Every structure is written in structure tokens, then in C-alpha cells.
Amino acid sequence: MLRPPDVFVLLGLLTPARGGGWSVQELAGDLAMPQAELQRSLTRLGESPVFDKRSEKVIRPAAQQLLLNAVALVAPARLGAPARGMPTAWAAPPLSARTPASNKLPPVWPDPLGGARGLSVTPLHKAASEVSLSDPWMHEALALVDALRLGDARIRRQAADLLRPRLT
């Protein structure tokens, strides 16, 4: 059964900067996660239809189906207590440009170094903030996935429209 960190790893495998080739050591470094944890995620992904373990390739149609239709079931999320952190979901690009300003607190990944105050959201992996600072593509992809995990129907539709081309 897939877990939230597996979705994080899946997005890491889809990063355009990856260019097709990767090693466990390199991917673990890029995702700021221990190699053993990465190996466990790759094993779980390999047991699902989204990743071919032999060729070490993501099966993009299956990954798209998982991310657009089932991520809220695999990695449910909800808004928590106010916290300082990094904006995510509709509060982060690219969705923030499509979402009208609101006086409600935005969703954030808790991070003491974050520049925003908002309602906490548990990220797919504890390294989400760190990875997002060095990889804008990952920040946008993670934020769009969080919008799918948290948003209402309108937000989910907009997030899916923005995420779909990134997955093909």
C-alpha cells in the first residue's frame, strides 16, 4: 500500500531535472531523504502500477491517474493549527495566481524558517520545504498535489489542469 512519502518520491522521479537517469544515492540526495527510506518507497512504488522496478521508469498514465484521482485517498490532508511555514496548495505558485486573495490564513508546511503564517498542513514528506527551496518544479508540483489533497472542487479542478501537463 502506498504512503504519502511514496507520492513525494514519485514526484521526485518525475522532475524534469532528472532527465531520465538516476541513482538511489543521487535521488536520495535530491530529495533530502535517507537512502533506506527511499529504497522502501521505491519498493512500494514498484508493487503498484505507477513504477516499473526493472526498468526504473515511472508509468506516466498510471502516475497521472494516481495523482489526479486518488492522491487524497493515499495521502489525506487537512488544515491544522496556525503556524509559520512555507506556502502550499492554493497559497503557492502556480495556483496562487489563479486564486483570489482572501483574509483567511493560507495553507503552509510548518517550517520555523518559513516566511508565511498560515494553517499547518502535514507535507507528503518532512523534507518538502527543504527540497522546494532548491527545486521550484518540485515546490509547484507538491503545492498542486496539496491542492488536490485539501481543496474544494474548484481548487481541485484548477490544480488538476495545472498538474496534468507536468505529468505527460
Could you give the CA distance from residue 132 to residue 138 in angstroms, rounded to a whole number? 6
pTM above 0.85, yes or no: yes
> pLDDT of 41-71, one tens digit each?
999 999 999 999 999 999 999 999 999 999 9
The terminus-to-terminus CA distance of the chain in angstroms comes to 24
Contact 110, 147 (CB under 8 A): no
> What is the SS3 assignment for 33?
coil
DSSP state of 106: P
> pLDDT of 138-167, one tens digit each?
999 999 999 999 999 999 999 999 999 999
For position 20, what pLDDT does the model report? 67
Task: Write down the residue that cell numbers 491517474 correspond to.
Answer: 65
How far, rounded to the nearest angstrom, does the alpha carbon of residue 62 sit from its chain's CA centroid?
16
> pLDDT of 74-103, one tens digit each?
999 999 999 999 999 999 999 999 887 778
> pLDDT of 6-18, one tens digit each?
999 999 999 987 7
DSSP state of 75: S
Cell of 92: 503557492
What does R_g of the chain's alpha carbons equal in angstroms?
A: 15
Cell of 42: 521505491
